[in-house]
Chain A
Amino acid sequence: MAKAIIDGTEIEVDKGTSILRAAADAGHEIPHFCYHPALSSPANCRMCLVEVEGMPKLMPSCYTQVSDNMVVHTKSERVIKAQKAVLEFILINHPVDCPICDQAGECKLQDYYIDYDTQDSRLRSQKQNKVKAHAIGPEVVYDGERCILCTRCIRFCEEVTETAELTVVERGDRAEIRTFPGKSLDNDYSVCVTDICPVGALTARDFRFKTRVWLLTSTESVCTGCSQGCNIHLDHFRNEAQRYRPRFNAEVNDYWMCDSGRLSYKELHADRLLAPVINGAEANWYEVCRNTANKLTKAVEAEKNIAFVVSPQASCEDLLIAKRFTDEVLKTDSLYLGGKAAGKADGFLRQADNNPNRRGMEAVFQDRAFKPFSDLIEEIKSQKVDVLYMMGSHVPVDADSRAEFLNALSNVELFILQTPTQGDLSEMSNISLPSCTHAEKSGTFVNFDGIAQVFQQAFAPKDGALADGEILTRIAKRMDVDFGYKNLSEIQDTMFNIPEPPPAEVAEETQTEPSAE
């Protein structure tokens, strides 16, 4: 343990802790560009210089370890002078094209200029011209003029993805970030470099010129791309998701997320089903609930074979309602497993299971047995299924089996589909009910590791969409079964059916690390 005094605050930290981290613990922010908590410290930006008593020169706080009885000043006159000098040095060749730059609004250089510099440029020389809008990878665009050569991106590729595509070429004011010859920045985590880039040098191809970041509202959510359940910021503007950004969670995804998960926000708005449809005609919720309830009541009374497809894409809250719906309303135990087909794991974040809530589904349904989807296809073919109720339009089988399933559907008397998207499946259904995506409701997903994670509603449901649980509750009410839940927290209290403690551990969302942008 080492004791140090930072700006008058006495603090005790482990040996080997950098001054920057110790200062962050003590509540003093030290500006920094090249330092990132998940990466090594090259100490090349010199923005984090602090004055240490007894040292003749200013020390880079990200690299200097705290030693016993160290006295550090982060806001002394020398430090302030150094910070201004560093910023002025960086701005010699920075184009200051903030109106064009996508980073404007979340740019560290902008923020630090306002916080630590605010002086006019004294240089009248021509700025260096470097590469502009260079496609450094399929998903990333590089602007050499804006680059401050902090090398965060290079270290990310070396230390996190271990693909090492990037390096610095040339020297002095002609230095630029480039890929090694013959390589391109196309690993599965390449867009993460745009998150860690402190300026607008590296920007995402997908988000380029799309909107301005200050217009975005950020909601804490969870990525639904696979069962890893990466924590994300869901940035949205005017009821439309604009991008996902990874949210720090040491237990799940650290600071990162994969490219395919990052782009999965597009599914939130693609081909949405906007109103309930009965036999091809749009209806309102009152009509459609009454109609569905009548048909289901008749089917239950006639003791027909009712099959229910449970989706591991749904949240735990919705699945609890689905469980009670099958038990108390449909009175059936022929449950089948829906959801997406399995993909490939890459050993880092990406999991083979593409469904975000399989563990949650198992926890909610407990001892109930699920039959595989292929069994359902066989049973439909042999006309053993009269009524099919399906949650979600994903089918966990390959394309051939899917076609087989679609063909066999004509054997089903009544096919009810609950889905956010429209497609061939919703066209074949007798009744299709628009449900909302995870961005439009709050809920809980349990990832592959058994960590239950809460996601928040980002914006209002699109047109007529309702949460899965709400649809089932309404139909059940029409069939004289009242589940009796008043709000989401009542469902959350009982959904895992474990008396104490109610939900499983909820991931810590507060971030105490120094800012990592």
Chain B
Amino acid sequence: MFDFLAPATAEFLVELLITFVKVVLIVFVFVMGVASAMTLLGDRKQSAKIQNRVGPNRAMLFGLPFTRILGIPHFIADGIKMILKENTVPDGAHKGLHLLAPALVFAPSLIGWAGVPFMDFYCTGSITVDPNTYREICAVGPNGEPGVWRNYFQIMNFNAGLLFAFAIAAVSVYGAAIAGWASNSKFSLLGGLRSSAQMISYEVSMGLCLAGVLMIFGTLDLNEMARQQGYLLWGWLPMWGIVVQPLGFFLFFLAGMAETKRAPFDVPEGESEIVAGYITEYSSMKFGIMQLGEYVAVVFISALIAILFLGAWQVPFLFGDGFHFPGMETIEIPYIVVIVLRIGSMLFKILFLVWLQFMMRWTLPRFRYDQIMVLGWKILLPLALANLVVTAFIAAIL
């Protein structure tokens, strides 16, 4: 029946299994488990620390006081509360779209992770590094077979990864807009409109910043981009995005924060003006999904910034066979340690950026809506354009 699959079946099934494991590890364990929990924790405990408070610390599991640690039982309780609460749909709301909107907010922020590399391809053979170009070469396998690159640390590797991530991120604007429109509430509608206007405005600048990065690296493949950021400029400076595109990094970071609709750019929610914006009429787990979607979006934006500007999984001067500090001899390191260091580096960068975003969130008061528009159109856009022109000019000369 599946004869046409026969030659590839074994290999295909293994491939399928590996992909499945990757999806589970990345999406469920890292994104939803670790990153979201850390984000929740950051949201509550980090703000508490900044504001000289203690934060939640009373709830415990099964009456055991030691489970109070970091107030984590509060988050579990929150989740249980969300699930158990009554799911209300306002009178006159469009029931189908009202139900669809949380999915449209949540799904893109998860799908985007398909292209995010947590490590370079895995080399089945022995790895060597070209001392002149620092290119990693997968030479001979342990049993003499030729070395093969295998994709174990990225769910899906394709050469338009950046476009994919960017496109998927842009889809979530539909979720907010539909949520606002389908709720049959003035507050929700205003929130939805604000949210779409804000996201579209900042996507323009974001796109232009990406164009600058594209010109430097000449590829849309996220893993290839990451790999190129390991190269050394003038023999000693890692060619990270932040080094070659400092203004781009700054603009992208700002626009990315605005994209996530969180303070100080949280006018779509603006509780002092429009209750809770487009999530006003959501309750129960639908509300929970909306919130979770926002948290995941924060983590996703951090991942994108880390890939584009902070060298993704790169550790400075660390290559496949060890550290190559300029002007020093190579420090040999086993390949397995290199892998662990690189994955750790990626995770650390993502969490650091999340932490930094929260720091900024609790530092700044909310911008007025006109200030957000001015920032987006009058400041970020011209700067991004100028950045693009200058980058293009330099790229043409070199």
A–B direct contact (CB < 8 Å): no
Interface, chain B (partner A; CB < 8 A): none
